[in-house]
Amino acid sequence: MPKKVLIVARREIRKNKLINWVSEVYLQILGEYGVIPIIVPIAESTIQNLEVYTQDYDGLLMVEGGDVNPKRYNETYNEQKLEERDDIKDSIEFACCKHAITNNKPVLGICRGMHIINTMFGGTLHLDVHDANNNSVLHVHYEAYDTHRHHITIIENTPLFTWYKQTNLDVTTYHHQGIKKLGEHLIPMAISDDKLIEAIYHPHYSFVVGLQFHPERMYTEHRGNARVFESFIKSL
């Protein structure tokens, strides 16, 4: 039987109507490896039916999206600092992540997904990394988007080093939140030049990995990008 991976959708208003969507690149990558993506929709009714989705799945892929509500890590905040907040998405995605971790299911979190993993283990987030680093490193370029790159240093003897086999890498990122306090037992795997943590993993689970950068957006540029997904899929 093919493996099944949950992906919580993203929600936005288009032509005055709420729509759900997932970037096709994730669906394509999973499909190429024979994995069936199960898209979990964002709707209030999903919350009451969530146990149906978590009855039969093999792993969880959490991808980019809006900001994690700072209430999740007991932080005071200014509403104007938040972008694309969706409390229903938070409820659904955190519930899925808790279920996966509790049942030792593989979890791969990219961008916002890494923020959720960090928060799940008691960590906190910067509301805006550019306020925190005085714009010393640009983590999001709204015009350049996929073509923007910044440097990270990969830490040796980590899964990330095993995948990329080098300590220096230029990556594409698109975020303004970032790890402030690292969650309990999480281990950093990469650091940007402003000391922001760019990748994490949990050593006590079969596969719990978070990446701040986007391997799917530079998939053909380095063999390590494919190895990220291959390792996740192999652990299912």
111 flagged as catalytic: yes
Check: CB of residue 188 under 8 Å from CB of residue 182.
Answer: yes
Catalytic residue among 139, 148, 202, 214: 214
Catalytic residue among 64, 139, 216, 222: 216
Helix residue ranges, H only, 172-212: none
216 flagged as catalytic: yes
Q: Phi first, then psi: what are they for 131, rounded to 5°?
A: -70, -40
Nearest alpha-carbon partner for 5 in 33, 29, 30: 30
The number of C-alpha atoms within 13 Å of 66 and in the hemisphere containing its C-beta is 19
Helix residue ranges, H only, 103-189: 112-120, 129-132, 159-164
**Strands ordered across the beta sheet of 168-171:** 36-40, 4-8, 59-62, 107-110, 208-211, 197-201, 187-192, 150-154, 168-171
97 flagged as catalytic: no
Residue in the structure block whose two tokens are 């694309």: 84
Check: CB of residue 72 under 8 Å from CB of residue 119.
Answer: yes
Q: CA 104, CA 176: separation in Å to the nearest integer?
A: 30
Catalytic residue among 111, 126, 175, 198: 111
Query: 14 forms bridges with which residues in the sheet?
Result: 17
Q: Which residues are catalytic?
A: 111, 214, 216
